[in-house]
Structures are given as C-alpha cells and as structure tokens.
Amino acid sequence: MPYPADYKYTKEHEWIKIDGNNATVGITDHAQESLGDIVFVELPKPGAEITAGKTFGSVESVKAVSDLYAPASGTVTEVNGDLATAPEKINKDAHASWMLKLKLKDPNELNGLLSAADYEKFVAEEGG
C-alpha cells in the first residue's frame, strides 16, 4: 500500500496530515498490518492537550495493546467517533481512518517527521 505523499510519519507508525495550523492524525497501514484485527481504540476527548512524543491513547488488537504516540503537540478539536464502534475500519483503510484532529501548538515540530519515502524505507529496514 503506498503511503500518501502529503502525510508525514513517525517511527512509531503514526501519520499526520497538516492543514495550516490544524492537523489530522492516524496510524499507518504497516501498523494495522502488524497489529492484526483491531478491536478497541482509546482516544482523548476534544479539548485535551497532547504532547509530541508522548502517548495520547492506545489501540488494541485481539492479541496486543499498543500505545499511540503524538506526532505533534496541540489541542484535540475532534475525535473520530466511528472508531469506538467500528475500530476495524482502521484495518480496512488505515490512511483514511483518522483518529483525531488537532490544533497545532507549534507547526515547527513537524520538521523532524519522516516523509512518505523515508517512512517506507524505515519500515523496509525494520524488517516489517
């Protein structure tokens, strides 16, 4: 599955799509494939503050629990309610299944993130 060129990526397998001072966050196709069937997603509420590099929630497959790491700092403006009842949507299309929308605290934080090409290389080297 190709990684959208207009997204940026973290080494913890989250993606972030920037739109001015706002952003949308999700997990990558590689993440959903590693996890297997996703059965539970724990996300913060709108209004919550999240910090780049720190955990902001979790995603659970049948076998495992995985922390979600914030690609950038900011205030949560919207959370995808679909994922509470249909978390398997992430397995079907991880790059379209957004988890939350953020008002970015500092867009410069994003400079350290990976491009689609770099992320693809990173995944290949990881042996994923």
Please tell me whether residue 58 binds another protein under the rule CB under 8 A. Answer: yes
Q: Which two tokens stand for residue 67?
A: 């922390």
Shortest Å, Cβ 66 to another protein: 9
- What is the chain's alpha carbon radius of gyration, rounded to the nearest angstrom? 13
Binder to another protein among 1, 62, 117, 124 (CB under 8 A)?
Answer: 62
Q: Under rule CB under 8 A, which residues in 26-55 are in contact with another protein?
A: 33, 36-37, 39-40, 42
Q: Which two tokens stand for residue 127?
A: 């042996």
Helix (H), strand (E) at residue 100: strand 100-104
By beta-carbon proximity to another protein, the closer residue of 75 and 91 is: 91
Binder to another protein among 65, 96, 117, 124 (CB under 8 A)?
Answer: 65
Contact of 19 with 101, CB cutoff 8 Å: no
